[in-house]
Amino acid sequence: MSNYRLAGTVLLVAALCGAARAADDDKSRLFNTFYLDGERISYVLVLREDKTFDLYGPEGGKVSGSVRASNEHVTLTSGDVKRFFHFDNRDRDLKLGRRENDRLVKGNLLGTMPPTTDSRVLFVAEENWRRSGRPVLNLRDGGRPAPPPPGVAPVAPVTPVAPVTPAGELRDVAGHYAFGRETLVIAADGSFTFTANDGGKASGTVLRVDDELTLVGTGHRRQFSITPVDTGLVLKRRSTDTLKASDALGRMPPQDQQGILYKREGGAVAVVPPPTSQPIPVTPQPTPPSPPPAVTPVPPPAVVTPPNPPELRPVAQTPVTELRQIVGTFVHKPNPFISETITLAEDGSFKYADSNASAASGTVTFDNGVLVLTANEVIRRFRASLDGGTLTLNCDKDDAPRFKNDLATMSPTVLKTAKYERK
């Protein structure tokens, strides 16, 4: 019997050692140089075996810190900023997702590094990035692009795309605005402050791309389409915008699809020609002085309805109760780096995929007006509605998948609401 016990002990130790080696191999894949997936260089993350890291940003910024990793989780720490992720390695690439205790920090490179939503993002290992012919950063030479490997045609230098809005993009919309008792202050340095009529306040970072404006607060973000007019800014909710009643920014108007005008305080900004002579001192008067003759005051608008009202009229949302209403393909973009696609077929099947290689398929059913997606043991439950070509999914109170697969991470999750545009 003692020989059998000895043999069993040896086998057990060998199995444990094999499992430990497999776990160590998974962790060793973390130690590499990774590029945020995309056509251009943006974020570059260098993880080292000595438990240190460097993070290079899209505007040339850099932060360094320490790494703590287990077989499934990794924590990056730089000063007072900590980011908490779970990770997965596929073909040496690194897929990161935010853990429940992860918190964003505005104005900090590590604090705003993707992922910044509940969707996962892909960081491509340097060898795979090189193999695709894209330029790499020469980290030994000030972060300049290095030449491509032999046999790969050179690629023209690419200017990194910065997710943070340059100050020049905000100068024409910077100012103080009011909608009733609500006030919004946008600064040219990329910051904002919002004060609600109940006294609640929110502040954070402003991102602008063309006519799209995003306000990133500490606990929430709002996404708008903007139209500058003579008297202020017209704000309309974008399809990806979400509300949050417990947060001042989440309660900020507009709360529906109706565009509203935030009036610039003091009316339109008039352009005053430069004086041709020395200015004449003005003696203060007990009553407010009239405007200078060269400035024509702009009267306040009679209504707050902005130009092109047909584009701003709300479209009635239709509850989805039958599959035939939503047969087709819909796409959700939670951020500029990720897209999620779901295709619903007439035969009651669906296919889901995102741009980071997540995929799931299964069946579509309805349960008392609730849209139910089932993929193996994972079940998602949504309240669905149609707004023109937009499919809005709201997590049902019973949507809490007990098992995990790629369907379990399909938006919406933490944010509870996601909008998919018909393709």
DSSP helix/strand/coil, 370: strand
- Non-local (6+) Cβ contacts of 294 within 8 A are 272, 273
One domain, residues 336 and 246: no
Say whether both 176 and 301 belong to one domain. yes
Q: Is the pTM of this model over 0.75?
A: no
Q: Are strands 318-319 and 378-387 parallel, antiparallel or unpaired?
A: antiparallel
Residue 209 counted as domain residue = yes
Confirm whether 157 is domain-assigned.
no
In the three-class reduction of DSSP (H, G, I as helix; E, B as strand; rest coil), residue 138 is classed as: strand
- How do the pLDDT tens digits run along the chain, 423 residues long? 555 555 555 555 555 555 444 444 455 678 889 999 887 888 999 998 888 999 998 777 889 999 988 878 899 999 889 999 998 888 889 999 999 999 998 888 999 999 998 888 999 999 988 888 888 877 654 444 444 445 544 444 433 333 444 444 677 788 899 998 899 999 877 889 999 988 889 988 888 777 888 888 877 889 899 998 888 999 999 888 888 888 889 899 999 888 899 999 864 333 334 444 444 444 555 555 666 666 566 666 555 555 554 444 444 688 999 999 999 999 998 776 678 999 999 999 999 998 878 889 999 999 999 999 999 889 999 999 998 889 999 999 989 887 778 898 888 987 788 999 999
Q: Within a domain: residue 13?
A: no
Q: What is the pLDDT of residues 33-84, one digit of tens each?
A: 999 988 788 899 999 888 899 999 877 788 999 998 887 889 999 988 999 9
On whether both 126 and 63 belong to a single domain, the answer is yes
In a domain, 220, yes or no: yes
> Do 176 and 299 fall within a single domain?
yes
Q: What is the reported pLDDT for 291?
A: 62
Q: How many domains does the chain have?
A: 3
176 shares its domain with 308: yes
Residue 141 forms part of a structural domain = no
- 373 has which bridge partners? 364, 380
Q: Does residue 26 lie in a domain region? A: no
- Do 244 and 302 belong together in one domain? yes
CA distance 359 to 378: 13
Q: Is residue 297 part of a domain?
A: yes
Residues 413 and 386 in one domain: yes
Closest CA relative to residue 393, chosen from 219, 237, 240: 240
77/60 same-domain check = yes
Residue 346: give its domain's CATH number: 2.40.128.640
User: pLDDT tens across 324-368, in order?
Assistant: 999 999 999 877 667 899 999 999 999 999 887 888 999 999 999
Are residues 298 and 323 part of one domain? no
Q: Do both 172 and 72 map to the same domain? A: no
Q: What is the CATH number of the domain that holds 226?
A: 2.40.128
Answer yes or no: do 297 and 376 share one domain.
no
81/175 same-domain check:
no
Domain ranges, residue 243: 167-267+290-312
